[in-house]
Amino acid sequence: MRAARYRFPMMLAIIGGEPGRFAPYVELYHRALRELHPERADERLPVGVHSPGFVADTDEEARELLFPHFKANRDRIGRERGWGPATRAQFDAEADAGSLYVGSPETVAQKIAATVRTLGIDRFDLKYSNGPQPHAQLLRCIELYGTEVAPRVRELLAD
């Protein structure tokens, strides 16, 4: 509501669970914009999603490289917030159907495109830094995201 009141674009930080459950927030934002600013109801402000992920050459490589760093980061945050230690089963569930965008360029692109379609968003921001992950792995992730994932998402959404 505050973003709509001040006509700010909205970014949703979706760090766990199925992204589609955030559709009511997107709908509320758009409805609030129309109701609070009827004189500008035809102007669309962008909505984006910010979620964690990691891209590697294959799905298996991405999961194996990411998991220990994801777990270290999640366990550190969890100690502060009262969460139990992260498990591999939780990690895999988030990667399969939640808001963790991890895998090959094709897998990540397909998942991002599905989120864009489901929520009707305009932007997607991959939080590719996960805990103490080595710099070389992060550079490779950035390279794949820019050269393969982003172009593929554009292609998927053009259809």
Residue 130 has pLDDT above 90, yes or no: no
Q: What is the pLDDT of residues 59-94, one digit of tens each?
A: 999 999 999 999 999 999 999 999 999 999 999 999
Which residues 6+ apart lie within 8 Å of 79 measured at CB? none
Q: What is the mean pLDDT of the chain?
A: 96
Residue 131 has pLDDT above 90, yes or no: no
Q: What is the pLDDT of residues 6-24, one digit of tens each?
A: 999 999 999 999 999 999 9
Nearest to 119 by CA among 37, 2, 12: 12
Q: Tell me the mean pLDDT in the region 107-121.
A: 98
Bridge partners, 10 (sequence order): 47
**Which residue's structure tokens are 């591999």?**
88
Q: DSSP states of 99-130 as a string?
A: S-EEESHHHHHHHHHHHHHHHT-SEEEEE---
Residue 117 has pLDDT above 90, yes or no: yes
Query: What's the whole-model pTM score?
Result: 0.94
105-111 own/partner pairs: CB under 8 Å, 24+ apart = 105/55, 105/144, 105/145, 105/148, 105/149, 105/152, 106/152, 107/59, 107/62, 108/53, 108/55, 108/145, 108/149, 109/148, 109/149, 109/152, 109/153, 109/156, 110/156
Structure tokens at 52: 């964690």
For residues 53 and 99, is the Cβ–Cβ distance under 8 A? no
